[in-house]
Structure 1
Amino acid sequence: MELLDAIHTRRSIRKYLDKPVPEEMLGILLKAAMSAPSAGNQQPWHFIVIRDRTKLDSIPSFHPYSKMVLQAPAAIVVCGDPDGKKWPTFWDQDASAATQNILLAARDLGLGTVWVGIYPEKDRMDGFRKLLGIPENIIPFSLVPVGWPDGTFEAVNRFRPELIHNESWGAK
């Protein structure tokens, strides 16, 4: 798949087929995540892969917008670790880039994903810390359910020229 095709046909997939995701594919997603840019190449991320059905099924009890994980055969939690980094205030941008790389790599493989925000909501972060034993200094950032989509990917034109400003605000 061409990169622009992946970008333009990537969609938030919330319904999955009852079919496991091969370990090799999850490895490809994680490798893509770790290829994301990061401030000063500090790579302040950690990833938790969840396949355990009991853990996946418990997530909606503390995250109200994660019900799609009930169908997903796997999920990846992207976490940030700003401690001791030269640029500690940029960890969330780095984690965002890693999350986006997961979404695009999954699209390339024909997998469905959706970005489910965790940070900065304290109750969500606490829920993931408790469920997955995440230390206090590590920040749960995003949840990415992963599975085979129950549906198709279609390009949608989201380009809005009125949101573009040239040289200064308001210039078209």
Structure 2
Amino acid sequence: MDRFENMKKVNTWNIVLVFAVVVLAVTVALLARHSAASSGDAVMKCILTRTSIRAYQDRPVEDEKVEQLLRAAMAAPTAGNKQPWRFVVIEDRQTLKEISAHFQTMKMAEHAPLAIVVCGDMDDTFPEDGKDYWVEDASAASENLLLAAHALGLGAVWCGVYPMQERVYYLKKLLHLSANIVPLNVIPVGYPEGDAAPKDKWKPTYVHYEHWNGRKLR
């Protein structure tokens, strides 16, 4: 009789244990799913709320955050894994002032704590017709950098350089870039001064399905 009672207790505890394990597994799965959904929402929010920031606080950007920006940039897709991107981080006040003074569209550089010049290495891209893939690669890196800046509480703005040759020539000279290095843009970075509302650029009429004359979004 005692043995029978003991077996009943053991079986009861086994059932309770199995039930607890199942509940725990379901809870973990639901939490993981919720976490993944939350992460996805956070990524979309970062993309949709990023905007160009042209006014900055008088506050330095931490070295750790600068490295995070560059790590994000180098995580971008790249044709044939060539990774032709190169980066020049400018913190020197005089250099930033010279860029601001020379380029009408880069006035904000004078007041930014730093700027990152995204470049392409012509020795590390494809030959002949594939040479300009470096522009796509460096552009992807630039967008990653801009999104990372926004995610880190920073503000940044893409200031175009290439293919305007006068701009390319000036920056190559100012930054002592070697002949094989071509600057794509200048990205001033800093902590935003004030709030800037993102633009809603969603235009369903820009989307075509299957071919140009196919179904369009409504």
TM-score range, shorter chain: over 0.9
Q: Secondary structure at the match of 2:104?
A: coil
Return 5+ residue gaps in structure 1 as ranges.
none
Judge conservation of contact 1:15–1:71 (CA < 8 Å) in 2. Answer: yes
Q: Cα RMSD over matched residues?
A: 1.4
Distance 2:175 2:94 in 1: 12
Report the number of matched residues. Answer: 172
Which of 175, 186, 190 is the equivalent residue of 1:132? 175
Judge conservation of contact 2:84–2:124 (CA < 8 Å) in 1. Answer: no
- Once the 2 structures are TM-superposed, how far is the Cα of residue 126 of structure 1 from its aligned partner? 1.2
Q: How does 1:78-89 map to 2 (within 5 A)?
A: 78-86=118-126, 87-89=130-132
Judge conservation of contact 2:59–2:191 (CA < 8 Å) in 1. Answer: yes
Distance 1:56 1:157 in 2: 31
Q: Match of 1:62?
A: 102
Q: Match of 2:82?
A: 42
More deviation in 11-20 or 83-92?
Answer: 83-92
Q: Match of 1:103?
A: 146
Which has the larger helix fraction? 2
- Once the 2 structures are TM-superposed, how far is the Cα of residue 122 of structure 1 from its aligned partner? 1.1
Return 5+ residue gaps in structure 2 as ranges.
1-38
Q: Secondary structure at the match of 1:99?
A: helix
Scaled by the length of structure 1, the TM-score of the pair is 0.95
Equivalent residue letter for 1:127 = Y
Greater RCO (Cα-Cα under 8 Å, separation 6 or more): 1
Equivalent residue letter for 2:202 = F
Distance 1:155 1:59 in 2: 26
Larger Rg: 1 or 2? 2
Scaled by the length of structure 2, the TM-score of the pair is 0.75
Residue deviations 1:25-61 (CA, integer Å, cap 9, x gap): 0000000011111000110011000000000000033
Q: Match of 2:55?
A: 15
Distance 2:124 2:158 in 1: 27
Over the matched positions of the two proteins, sequence identity in percent amounts to: 47
Pair 1:30-2:70 in alignment: yes
Judge conservation of contact 1:75–1:145 (CA < 8 Å) in 2. Answer: yes
More deviation in 102-111 or 150-159?
Answer: 150-159
